Structure 1
C-alpha cells in the first residue's frame, strides 16, 4: 500500500512539474515574440538616441524575421542530438544576455548584432518547443498543451509591445529591454527547476503519429498560403482602418486590442478543438479567416461590422495556429523537430510574401483591396486542404484494416484509439 501511495505521489509531482515547465515555456514564447516586436513601439526613441534613420531602425524587426527564416533548418539539424532540457536552458540564457546587450548597446551596429543573436535562438526555440511539450504530456491533449505555448506567444504583441512602449516613453527604450530580460530570466530559472529531462526520441513525439510526406507537404503549402493571406491585409491594417473604413487614428489601439483578445480566445478554442476534431478545426478556422477577410472588403461602409470582422481575423488565425502545429505532429514524415522547423519557415515565408503582395495591391488597387487579396489566398489554402484526399490517397495495408496513412482522428473513429 505504501508503495502504491508513493507511486501516486511521484506521478502527481511529475505532473505538477510538467505543468510548471509548460507555463515556463509559454512565458519563454511570450518573451521571444515580445523581443521580436518590441522595437515597433520604440522606433523613434531608438532612432533619436542612436542617431539613425527610422528606416534603419525598422530593419531591427525585418532583419530579425529574415534571420529566423534562413537559419531555422540548419540550426535544428545541427542541434538534433543535444539534450532538450540543456538546449532550452541554453537558448534562454542567451536570450537574457543578448537582451541585456541590446539595452546596453552604444551604437546601432551593436544593437543589430544583439538582435541577430536573439533571432538565432528564437529560430531554434520554435523548431523544438512543440515536440518537447508534446513529449511531456499524453498524445490526446497535445493540441491543448500546445495552445498554452501559443497563447504565450499571442500575448507578446498584444501586451508586450504596449507595455514596452509605455516603459520606453517613461523610462527610456533601454529600460523596456531590461524589463524583458528580467522576465526571460524568470522563465530560465523556472525551466532549470521544473523541466524534466525529456528525451523526445523515446516518446510518441519523436515522429508523426501517422507519418505521411504528402500530407505534410499539403500542410506546409496551406500554412504558407493562409499566413500570406492574413499578412497581405494585416500588414496594412492601419491604412485600411483609417483611409477606407473611416476610423479615427485614436481608435486603432482599442481595435487592435480587441483583435488581440479574439486571437487569444481563438488559440484556446483551437487547442481544444484540434484534439477532438483535427481536420474540422483546421478547415473551420481557415474558413473563419477567409470569410472575415472577404467580409472586411465588402463591409467597409459599416464601422461596427468592420470592427467585428477584424476581431474575427484574430480568432481565425488564433484557432488555426495550434491546429496547424497539431497536424504537423500528426503527419511529420521524419523527425518532428525538422517538421516543426519546416512549418516555422512556412510561417515566416508567408509573412514576408504577404507583406510584399499587400504592398503591390496597395500601390495598385488601393488599400480596400488588401483584405480581398488576402481572403482569396486563404480560400486557396482551404481548397488545398479540401483536396487532400485526392492529393494524398492513402495506401491500404494488406488484409484490409485502416489505411497505413490514416490520421489519428481516422483511427480513433475506427476504434484504434479512444477519443480525448
Structure 2
C-alpha cells in the first residue's frame, strides 16, 4: 500500500480528519464572522450562512479565541459547565493544525493553500532562509525579517480582512504579543491593548469595559493562550492544564453573564492538543540521512514537516523516513498534497508551492519528528503538540452566548 493509499484509509476510518469535508470549518466560520462584522463582499457558502445564523445579528460582538482549547478539553469539562452548555456546533480547523495557520485563515477567510502561512517554520524566498513566521524573525538568529529585506506583505501575502470591519474594534491580547508585527497584520492595523497573560480575568474585564463604554456597534477580540501554553509544557491531561481549562470556562461564563443583552459572545479555538509519547518521538540532527537528502532545512511543524528533497531523491527520502520512523509517518509529494486538498480546496498558490517544497512528512497519530536543532531553534521540551490531522488536534468548538 502506498503512503497516499494509507492516508486515504486513515481518513476513511476517521483516525485522521480531513480539513475539507461536510463538517463546518474554521474557514466557514471566518467568512461568517467577517460578514457579521460588516466587512463587505464576503463570499458565504451554505455552511458559512449556517454559522452566521448561529452567531446572529447583535450590536456588540465579542470573539474569544481560546488557543488550543479543542473539543478534547470541552469534553473533559463537566456537562453542566459553561462551554459544553453553550456549544452551538463543532468545527474543524485547518491543516496543519497550528496557531499561525489557523489565525491567518481566520483573518483572511481563506485556506492555507492560498495564504501561504503553512507552518510554524516557513521558508521565505525573499531571504532564502527559514523564518519563525508568527514571530516575524529569521529562525536561526531571531533577526527581524524587515532587517533582511522581507516586508510584512512578503511574510503574510494575503491581506487580513479584520481591519475592514464597520464596527468599532478592540483587540485584547497578552502584553507580550500586543503590537507585534503579526498582531498588527492580523488586526488589519487596529491597535491592541495588552493584559497580563497570568491574569486572564484582566483580559475579560477589559473586554467587558470595552462593550460597556461603547457608543456604537463594536467588535471585541480577546485572545486567551493559557491552556495552550500549559499543554505544551506539561501535557494536555496534566492537572494544571485541566485546571486552566476550568478557569477559562468559568471566566467565559462570567463574561457572558455580565455582557449587556445586546451583546453576543462567541468562542472558538485554533486547534486542539495531543500528547507525544516517548516511543513515537523522533529527533533529527544535521547529519541525519533524512536531512542530507534535502536541499535546505526542513520546515513546518513536528507532525507536518515540509521538505525540499534533492531532485531525483524522493524515493530515497521516503525510504529513509520509513526506516527511521516506521509506520508513524507518511511521505506525500507536493502533487499528492494538492490532489488530496490537505491545504484546502483549490490549487496551491505559487507562494505556498515554493514554501512547502516537494514533500510532506505527515504523522499518522501522536508521533512527532523534532528537527528544531537543524533549523537553529531552541529545543525546549514540548509534551503536547498539534499540527496533525488527528481528531484531538482538528476538532474545535463553536460556542455562543
- Using structure 2 for the length normalisation, give the TM-score: 0.24
Decide which structure has the larger Cα Rg and report it: 1
- Using structure 1 for the length normalisation, give the TM-score: 0.23
Structure number with greater CO (CA < 8 Å, separation at least 6) is: 2
More strand by share: 2
More helix by share: 1
